[in-house]
Structure 1
Amino acid sequence: MHNNMKLSRVVPIGFGTIFALMIGVGLASKLSMQVLANSMASVNRTYQIKGSLQELEKSLINAETGQRGFIFTGKEEFLEPYNAATTSLPTDISQLRSKLSNEEQKRSLVEVERLTQQKLDELAQTIALKRQGKEQELRALVLSGLGKTVMDNIRRELNKMQSVEDDLLVQRRAAATQAEQLASLISLGGTLVAIILGSSVAIFIARRVVQPINQVATAIASSASEIAAAVEQQEHTATQQAAAVSETTTTMDELSASSRQSAQQAEAAANSAQQALILVDGNGLGGRQGGEHNSSLRDKVGQIAEQILRLSEQTNQIGSISSLVSDLANQTNMLALNAAVEAARAGEHGRGFAVVAAEIRKLADQSRKSAERISSLVSDVQNATNSTVMVADEGTKTVEGIVTAMNNITVNNQQISLTAKQQAIAIEQVVDAMISLNQRALETASGISQTKASTQKLNEAAYDLKVVV
C-alpha cells in the first residue's frame, strides 16, 4: 500500500499526460494544416499567375487587333480594345509582380514589361501614322516586322514564365499532397496514440488507485466484521452481566427482608430475656412463689430457646444468601473482566465500554466485600446464638446460676440485636450497590447496541466503497 502513488498524484499525472498529448496532437495538426494551407495557397497563387500571364497576352493581342482594325478602316471605334489594353496592362503587370515569389520569374516579368512597353510604343506609332495619313511610312513600319518580332519575344517570355509556373505547380502540388498526407497521418496517428495512451493511463490508474482502494475497502469490511463479532460477544456478555446483576439485586432484596426480620426477632429475644431476668429476680420472694416463678422461668427459658433456635435457622439462611451474593459478585466480576477484554478487542469503539466494565468490577468488588462482611456478622450472630442456646439449655436443667445465665442471655441478645442492625445496614448498602451496578450494566448493554449499529453502518459503507471501486 505504501508503494502505491496517492490518488491526488495519480489522477493529475494521468489526465495531465492525456491533456499534454492532446495539446501536442492539436499543435501538430495545426502546424500540418498550416503547411497544407500554405501549400494550397501556393498552388492557388500559381494558378492565378498562370491566369494573369494569359490575361496579359490576351490584352496585348486585343491591343494589336484594335490597332490593325484602325489601320485597315481608319475608324476610331476599332481602337477600343487598344485603349482598354493600354489602360489595364500597367495594372495587370503590377498585380502580377506582387504575386511572384520566384526570382527568375521576377526577372522574366521585367523583360516582359519592357517588351510590352515596346509593343505599345510600336502600336502607338502606327496609329499616329494612320491618323496623320502617312500611309507609306505606316506600310514601311508594318512591313519591317518590328511589331511581329516584339510580339514573338513577348510570347516567348510569357511561355517561358508559363513553363516555370508549370514546374512550380508540380512541385507545389506535390508539397500540398505531402502536407495533406502528413496532416492525415498526424491526425490518425495522434488519435491512435491518444487511445493507446488513454488506455494505458486507465490501466495505470486502475492498478495504482483502484486496486489499493479495493484492498482498503476489503480491509475495512474485514475489520468491521471482526469488530461486529467482538461487539456481539461483548453484548452477550453484558446481557449475562445485566441478568446476573438483576438476580443479585433480587437476592439482596430478599436478604434485606430477612435481615429486618432477624433484627425484629433479635429484639423480641432481648425483650423475652429481659422479662426472664425480671422473673428470676423475683425468685427470692418465697418458696411457693419461688416454685411458681421457677416454673414460669422454665417456660420463659423454653420460649427463649425456641426463639433462639428459629433465629439460628434464619441466621443460617442469611449465611446461605450471603454466600450466594458473594458467588454472584464473583460471577459479576468475571463478566466485567470478560467485557473489558472484549472492549479492548473492539479498539476505539470499545474504549467507553472498558471504562463501564471497570466501574462494574469496582461495584462487584464492593458487593463481594459487603457479602464477606455480612458473612462475618452472620458468623458472629451464629456464635452468639449458639452461646445463647447453651445458656438456655443450662438454665432449663438447673436454676442455680440462672441470674448469671440470664444476664449473659440479655447481653448476648443485645449483641445479636446490634449485629442484626449492622447487618441490615450493610445489606442496604449492598442493595444500593447492586442497583447502581444494574444501571451500569444496562448502560453498557445500550452502548454496545449503539456500537453494534455503528459497526453495521461501517460494514455497509465499506461494502458500498468496494462496489463503487
Structure 2
Amino acid sequence: MKWNVGTKIGTGFSIALLILLAVGAVAYQSAVKQTQTATLVDRSHLVLQNLEGLLSAMKDAETGQRGFVITGEERYLEPYTGAHAEVTQRIKTLRELTANNPNQQQRLDLLGPLLDGDQGKFPELQKIIDVRRDKVQGFDAALKEVLTDKGKTAMDEIRKVVADMEREENTLLKTRAEEAQASARNATLTILIGTALAFIVTAIAGYLITRNISGPLQDLTGVAERITMGNLNVEVVQNGRTDEVGVLAQTFDRMTQSLRAMAGAAERIAAGDLRTNVKPHSPDDLLGNAFARMTENLREQIKSLVEGANVLGSSASEIVASTSQLSASAAESATAVSETTTTVEEVRQTSQMASQKARAVADVSQKAAEVSQGGRRFADDAIAGVNRIRQQMESIAESMVRLSEQSQTIGQIIATVEDLAAQSNLLAVNAAIEAAKAGEHGRGFSVVAQEVKSLAEQSRQATGQVRTILSDIQKATTSAVLATEQGTKAVEAGGKQSEVAGATIQSLASTVTEAAQTATQIAASSQQQLVGMDQVATAMESIKQASTQNVASAKQLETAARSLGELGHRLKQMVERYVV
C-alpha cells in the first residue's frame, strides 16, 4: 500500500476519531440508561404517592362514616363519598404504573376485594351507614356493628397489602439508584480513559506526521528561499520517498536544473553569444518559451542595430556638417537682430521724447483752453454787469426826473402855504380889530387872533426855509440828472466795448479749444506710436532672445549631432561584440 501524506494524516486522525466515537457511544448508552432509570424512579415515586393517597382516602372515608354515625347528619358523609371515588381512580392509576411488574399486579388483585368485595372495607362502611340511617335501629345498632371490628380487620389487611407494595417500590428505588450510580461511574471512567487515549493517540500521530512531513518541507522551503534570492547552487536531497513530499523534492530538483540551464543561457547571451538555443520543456513552459523568443528577437534586433548603427554613423556625419552651417547662420542672424534691436530701441526713445513733448503741449493747450473759457465767462459776466449798471442808471435818471417834478409840485404847495399864511395874518389883524371893538367880550377872541397871527408868521418863516431847501434840492437834482445822463452814455459806450471784447475773447477761446483738441489728438497719436514702438522693441527683444536661443540651440544641436555620431560609433562597436 502506498502511504502518501493524505493517507498518513487520515490514518492518524481516524484512530483518534474511532476512540472518540467509542467514547461517545458509551456516553450515549450511559445517558440512555440514566434516562430510563430516571423514568423508572419517577414511576416508583408516583406509585408510592398513589399508595399514600389511597391510605389517606381510606382514612377520609372512615372519618366521614364515623362523623355520620355520631351525628346522624348527611353532610358528614362528604369525605366518605369523595374518598370512594378517589380510591377507585388511584387503583386504576396504580395498575397502569405497575403494568410491567407482576408482583404488584397480584397485590392490586388482592387489594380490590379488600376494598369493594363482599367482606371489603367500603361495603362494611356502607352497611354501618345504612344501619345508622334506619330510624328503628339508629345509633346503637350502628355502634354494635362498629364494635364487631370487621372494619378494622379489613383495614389492617389493606394496610398490609399497601405496605408490601411500598416495600417493593422502595427496594426497586434503591436498586435503580445503585444501578444509576454504577452506570454514571462507568460512563465517567470510560470518557476519561477514552479522552486520555484519544489525546495520546492524537499527539503521537501529530508528532509522527509533523516529523515525517514538516522536516522535509522545511528543507524544501529553505531551498526555495535560496532560489528566490537568486542562488541556484543548491542541492535538493533525494530521500527515495514516493509520497507527495518525495514528488515535490524531485520536482524541485528538476526546476533547479532547468533554472541553471536558463541562467547558463542568460550568461552566454550576456557575454554576447546569441547562438545559444533554449529548448522549452513543454508548450506550457512559459520561461523556456520566453527565453527562446527573447534569443530569437535579440538576434533579429542586433542585426537591425548593426544596420541602424551604420546608417546612424553616416547620418550623424551629415547632421554634424549641416548643424555647423546652421550654427554659423544663426550667429550671423543673431548679430543682425542685435543691431536692429539697438536701432529700434533708439527710435523708441525718440518716440518716447516726442510723446512726452506732445503730452506737454497738450497739457499747455488744455490749460490755455481752460483760461480762455474762464476769460469768456468773465467777459460775459462784465457785459451782464454793464447792462445791469445801465439799467440802474436809467432807473436813477427816471427817479431824478420824478424828483424834479415833485420839487416843482412842492414849490407850488409852498406858494399856496405862503398865501395861506398871508391870509391868516390878515385874518388875525381883522380879528384883533374886531376884538378891540368888542372890548371885554372880545378879549378871548383877541388872544386867539394873536395866536393865529403868530402861527401865520411861523408858517411864513418855515415856508421860506422850505423854499430855500427846495431850491437847493432842485439845483442838486438838475446836476444829478445831468450826471446821470452822462453816466448812462458812458455805460452804453462801455457796454458796446464789452460786447466787442467778449466776441473777441469767445473767438479766441474757440481757437484755443480747437488747438487744445488738436494737441490732445497729437499726444494720443504719439502715445499710440510710442506703444507701437514699445511693442516693436519688445518683439525685437523677443526675436533677439529667440535668435540667441537659436544660436545656443544650434550649438547644442551641433554638440548633440557630434554626440550622436560618437554614439553611433560606440553602438557599432557594441553591436560588433555580439555573435549572431
TM-score, with normalisation over the residues of structure 2? 0.41
Find the structure with the greater CA-based Rg: 2
TM-score, with normalisation over the residues of structure 1? 0.50
